[in-house]
Amino acid sequence: MSKTKQFVRFTFYWKLLWQSLAIAMVIFEAFNHKDLAWYLTLAFFFTYLAGTYIVSQRFGVNLLSAKQSDYIADERDAAIAEKVNRTMKYNRDHMAFSLIIVGMFVFNPMNDTWMKVLMFVAYMIMAMIFSNVEYYYLWNKFDKD
């Protein structure tokens, strides 16, 4: 397995973990479980910082100032990254437009609080988790070893 594929695989599981913690944090905060939300906030920050440290030590990539080319090992991986990013750009545009629609529902004073939280969490899952899964799926689809 190439170093780039290891990087993509590690960041997939790492992002899945900290994004799930962020979504759970929003849910528990919205339903007034402040203690649990606080613990999830701490777990979120520690997970994010630990993952950033592991990426910098294991792969030599500083995520705070990284460019896309910092984790790409060769031309083949660069071509795969270009295909994946071109496909993902189309879906990111749709996510931005759906944010406008979700925003109209969330900021509507006629909706109940639980409905607003449900809409926001559904959007966070679509925007964060699904795009992460899609990136990993597309990378494996275009990377035929």
Contact status, residue 124 vs residue 30, Cβ threshold 8 Å: no
Return the pLDDT at 13.
Answer: 92
Return the pLDDT at 70.
Answer: 66
Query: Residue 145: enclosing H or E segment and its boundaries?
Result: none
What parts of the chain have a pLDDT lower than 50?
none
Contact status, residue 137 vs residue 13, Cβ threshold 8 Å: no
Contact status, residue 30 vs residue 113, Cβ threshold 8 Å: yes
For the stretch 85-127, pLDDT in tens is: 888 877 777 777 777 777 777 677 776 777 778 877 887 887 7
pTM of the model: 0.76
